[in-house]
A and B are shown apart, each in its own frame.
Chain A
Amino acid sequence: MAIGFLTIGIIIAVIGAILYGRRLVKTEKTDAVFGNPERAKGGAHWVIVGASFLIFAWLYYSWDIAKAFYPKSANELCQVGKVTDSLMSLKYLFPIDERQHKSTDIIDRENKNIQKYIIEIKNHPELNNQDKIILLKFINKASLTIPFLTDEKYLDIETKIKIKDLTNRINQLTEDFQKVSYPPIKSIEEENKRLEALKKQKGWGFTGEEVPTLAETPMGLKFAASAKTLNKISDEFFALRNHNAAYTKAVTKLRDEIKAYRKGLPEEKEVETQLAKEIDKLARRIQYASIFPPKTLNDIEQSIIAFDVVQNEAQGSLKFIDAVFFPGGTILSSGPTCSEDGPGRWLPKPSDTFRIFKDLLKPSVGFKYVPLIWYEMMDVSKIVGFILPDWIADAMPGKYPVHNQDGTVTPNFKSKVLSVVTGEFKLFKIPIPYGHIWDSFLRVFMGLTIGIILGVPLGLFMGLNRFAKGFFDPIVELYRPVPPLAWAPLVITVFGIDNVGKVFLLFMVSFSIMIISARAGASGTQLSKIHASHSLGASRWQILRHVIFPNSLPEILTGIRVAVGMCWGTLVAAEFLAGTTGIGFVENVARKYMQYEVIWITIFVMGMLGLLFDVTIRKIIDKTIPWRGKG
C-alpha cells in the first residue's frame, strides 16, 4: 500500500519538478549567457527528479510496483509458469520454440558423428585391415538402424495408439480449459481442504515464501489444474520410445556382435576396444533418443500448439502486466516452488529491504551475534588502563605481595598501582558504540588519522627540503602506485587478521595520498608571500605555520577527500579477506547464504557512510579555507 502511494507520489513529484524547471528556464532565457556559472546554482527541483528516477528504477526493476498494484499477479504468473514448465518437455521435441524437430537435430548430429568415425577408422595407423573392416561394418550397421526408426511402416501399433491417446487427451484438455466451470469441484471436503490450505498461505515476498504457490484466483486454479493434467501427459510422452520390433532386433543384434567382438579382442588391442565401445555408445544414444517418423507426431504437435494458443489467450491482461510490470524476467515455476527470475531475484524490493534492515538494526538480532550499531556501557577505568603503560607499576619500589598462610593476599602499594595502570578499578561508566558499522567506521577513521598525522608533516618537509625530497622520493614513489589491495595478503600474514592489519592497510592508502598533496601544496607556495613575511621579520617556524601551511591547506583537504574514498574501497575488500566484524564481512557472509537483501543493505550503508564522511569534509573545507577557488 505504502509503495503504491510512494510510486504515485514520485510520478507527481517528477512531473511537478519538470514543469517548474521549464518555467524557470523560460524566465531566464532572455538574459542568459551560455556558460554563466550563476546558472548552475540552485536547482533543488532537479535533485528531486534525479533522486526520484533512482527510486523509481529501484521500485520498477525489483517488481515492487507490480507487487503494490497487482499483488495477486505473482501467484497467477506462478500458475502460468507451472503450465509453461509442463509444456516445456512436451514442446522440446517440436519446432515450436526451436528451429528444428529434435529428431531431425539428433539424426543430423549422429550422421555427422558416423561420418567422423568412418574417416577415423579408415585412416587409423594402428588398426590392421581386418579390424578396420569389422569396425566399418559395425558403423554401417549402426547407421542402418536409423531408418527403422524414421520409416512409418515399421511403427508399432501400440505406439500409434499411445500417441493417438495422448493427442486426444491434450485436445480434451484444450476443450475443458475453455469452459467456465473448469476445473470442476470434486467434493465439498476437498474444496474446504483447499480453502483451509489457502488461508495458511502467506503473501508474495513474505519471509520464507518468495512467491505463494497455491492458486488463489479462479484463473490461477484453471492453470494449476491443467498443469497437473499436462504433467501426467508429458511424463508418459517423455517415456515413449519408438522401439518397434524390427528396430529392437537390429540394434540388439548389433550390440551383441560388438560385445562378441570385444570379448575376442586381446588385452593389448586398446584402440579397437575403445572404438568398438564408442560405436556401441552411439547405437545406444540413437536408441535412447525420441526419434519418430517425420509425420507420426504431426497430430500431437498440432494439439500442443492449439492448447498453447488457448492458454495464451486465457492469460488475457496478465500477459500485459507481465510484460510491463515484470521487466527483464518473469515468475518461473520449477519443481516444488515458484521463484522470481530476472532482476526481481537479485534486486530485492525496497519494502522487503527496509523491513529486513529494521530487523538487523535491532541490537538483539544483528548479524552473526553482533548488532549493526549499538552501544555498551564501559568503565572509564579501561581507558585509563589502556593509556597508562604497565611498566609504571614495575618501576615502583618494593615487591608484589605474596599470599600468606591463611590463603589470602593483602594488596600493597605496588599491587594497587598495578591495578590502576591495568584498568582494574571502578570509576564511572560511559556509553561506547560498537557493532559492524562502528567497527568499519573506526578502522577508516584510524587509518585516515594516522595517515594524516604522519603524511602531512613528511609531505611538507619533502616540499621544502632538498634532502628530504631526494631521500624519501624513491620509497614513496615506489610504493604509491601499487594498488593497496595488492598488499592485503601480505598484511594479513604479517599483522594478523585483527584490526591492526586492516588499519595498517588503510594507513598505507592515506599516507601516500597525504604526502603527495601536502608536498604539492608546500611547493606551490608563491615565493613573494614568503619573501614578504620574511622581510616583515617572521621566523622560520612562523613562515611555516602562517604562510606555507595555510597555502597548502586546500591541497591537503582535497587529498583527505580523495583518501576517504580510497580507504572505504580498500576497507571493504580487506574485510572480505578475513574478518569477524565490519560491513564488508556482513556482505561477504550474506553472499555465501544468498541473502540478497542483506547485500543491498550493506551497499546502501556504505554509500551513506561515504556520503557522511564527504559532507563532513566539505563542511570543514568551507569553514577552514573559505578563500579556496576565489583567488
Chain B
Amino acid sequence: MKKIVSFILGSVLALNLSVSVANAAAKEVRIAFFLEWASPNQEDKVKGTFEKAFGVPVKWTNFATGGEMTEAMMSGDIDISYSQGLTPFVNAANSKKPITLVDVSILYGMKGTTCVVANSAGITKANASSLEGKKVAVALGTMADYVFRETMKVVGADASKMTIVDMVPEDSAVALANGDVAMSCLFGKKSIATALKSGKLMLSVKEASDNGIAGIDITSVTNKFMKENPGMVRTFLEITHEANARYKAGKSDMNVISKDATMDVKSTSDQMASFGFPSVDEQMNDYFAKNGILMKYLAIMGEMFATTENPMLKDYSKVVNTSFLPGN
C-alpha cells in the first residue's frame, strides 16, 4: 500500500517537474518554413549566414500548414515562423496564444492561393450561387479558407449553404479532377497546376486584387523568444531584408534557392517573380500604419474566424511589434 501511494506521489511530482522544465531555453534558434515557397533568404539559410550572425546553431523545420507552425511554437519547439499565413496567425491571436507578428514576409496575389471551379460543374462567377448545395473542398484554417470566404462574398454565393470538405491542397486537386467536389480552394504551385488541368479560376488574378483579396505571409515569433533574444529577432529580419534587397537587385543565387525550395529553377523564378517582398519603408507606410493594409486585414480576418470561444480581439496592434525591423 505504502509503495503504491509513494509511487503515485512520485510520478505526480515528476510530471509536474518535467512539464515545467520542458521549455527551458536551448542554445539554438529554431525556425519554421515552407517547402515549395521560395524566398531570397533561403540562400542565406544554405550558406550559413544565419549561424554566423546568431553565433549559435540554427535548426530549420518545414511544415505543411501555418496552423502546425503555431502548434509547434506553443509546445516550445519553434522560435521563429517565417512566412506563416496571416489566417493561422489570426487564429492564434484570437485564441490568445503568446506570439507576435514582427514582419510582413511575402505578399502574393491569387497565383499562390485561389479557388478553382471544375469544368464539369459549368459554374462561373455569373451563376456562382448554383454552388450552394454542392460540395466544396477547402483547406480550413489556412489562407485558402480566407480566400474562399472572400471569393464567395464577391460572387454573391452563400458559403453556409455549401457542404465544405476539409482537404489539404494535394488531395483537393485530385478530388476536383475526380469530380468529387465542384470547387476547390487551395494553395501551392503544384497543386494549383494540377487543379487547373480540370478546372478554371473562379476569379482571375486581377479580379481578385481589384476586390481586395490578397495573400499575406508574415513572420511571427514566440513572446518568450522575443523578450529573451531581441537581438536575434532583429538579426533574423536584417538578414532577411538584405536577402530581399539582393533579390530585387537580381543578385540572388537561384540555383541554391530552388534546390532548397525543392523546385526546379524555372518554377522557382516564376514563383518568386509573382511574390512581393516588401521593404521596411513600404511596410511602415502601407502596412503597419494606423489604417494600413495589414491592420485592416487583421481586423477583417479576426472577425471572419472568430468563434464563440475565441472571439476577435479589440485591438490587433497589440500582437504586432515593428521595433525589430531594421532601421526602426
Contact = CB atoms under 8 A, between A and B. Distances in A.
Interface in A92-114: 92, 106, 109-110, 112-113
A426 interface: no
A92 B163 contact: no
Interface string B134-178: 010100111000000000000000001001111100010011001
B26 interface: no
Contact of A285 (B18, B53, B67, B305): B53
A107 B290 CA distance: 39
A106 B307 CA distance: 45
Interface string B174-196: 11001011000000000000000
Contacts of B55: 109-110, 112-113
Contact of B19 (A113, A342, A498): A342
Given A110-B55, A593-B141, A593-B305, A336 B313 contact: yes
Contacts of A341: 98
Interface in A102-156: 106, 109-110, 112-113
Contact of B15 (A92, A238, A327): A327
Interface string A320-335: 0000000111001011
B308 interface: yes
Size class of A's contact patch? 35 or more
A88 B19 contact: no
B107 interface: no
Residue picked from B16, B74, B313, most chain A C-beta under 10 Å:
B16
Interface string A205-233: 00110100000000000000000000000
B117 interface: no
Nearest to B12: A327
Interface string A481-504: 000000001001100111000000
A327 B16 contact: yes
Contacts of A498: 180
B20 to A, nearest CB: 6
Contacts of B319: 335-336
Nearest to A89: B227
A577 B167 CA distance: 6
Interface in A574-628: 577-580, 585, 588-589, 591-595, 597
A361 interface: no
Given A339-B97, A343-B19, A369-B160, A493 B178 contact: yes
A342 B166 contact: no
A578 B169 CA distance: 11
A68 to B, nearest CB: 19
A339 B96 contact: yes
Contacts of A342: 19-20
A12 interface: no
A51 interface: no
Contact of B181 (A22, A335, A497): A497
B100 interface: yes
Interface in B310-327: 310-311, 313, 315, 318-319
Contact of A335 (B8, B164, B180, B223): B223
B10 interface: no
B228 interface: yes
Given A278-B52, A591-B67, A208 B309 contact: yes
Nearest to A206: B309
A85 B97 contact: no
A289 interface: yes
A496 B23 CA distance: 43
A345 B313 contact: no
A588 B171 CA distance: 15
A497 B19 contact: no
A339 B313 CA distance: 14
Given A335-B98, A594-B91, A594-B95, A577 B307 contact: no
Nearest to B74: A345
B237 to A, nearest CB: 12
A335 B74 CA distance: 16
Contacts of A580: 135, 163-165
Given A328-B16, A339-B97, A578-B166, A595 B227 contact: no
A465 interface: no
Nearest to A18: B1
Contacts of B15: 327-328
B122 interface: no
B166 A585 contact: yes
B212 interface: no
Contact of A288 (B96, B167, B234): B234
Nearest to A498: B180
B44 to A, nearest CB: 12
A199 interface: no
Interface in A65-108: 85, 88-89, 92, 106
A207 B306 CA distance: 12
B19 A208 contact: no
Contact of B166 (A113, A588, A597): A588
B69 interface: no
B305 A579 contact: no
A285 B223 contact: no
Interface string A348-390: 0000000010010000000011000000000000000000000
Nearest to B316: A336
B67 A592 contact: yes
A339 B98 contact: yes
A247 B310 CA distance: 51
A336 B318 contact: yes
Closest 7 A/B residue pairs (Cβ)? A592-B141, A328-B19, A334-B98, A336-B318, A109-B55, A334-B223, A208-B311
Given A288-B231, A578-B165, 12 more contacts: A88-B227, A208-B309, A332-B98, A336-B319, A339-B97, A341-B98, A368-B164, A489-B171, A493-B174, A593-B305, A593-B310, A594-B91
17 contacts: A89-B230, A92-B228, A208-B308, A285-B53, A328-B19, A334-B98, A337-B96, A342-B20, A343-B19, A345-B74, A497-B180, A578-B165, A579-B165, A580-B135, A591-B67, A593-B307, A595-B309
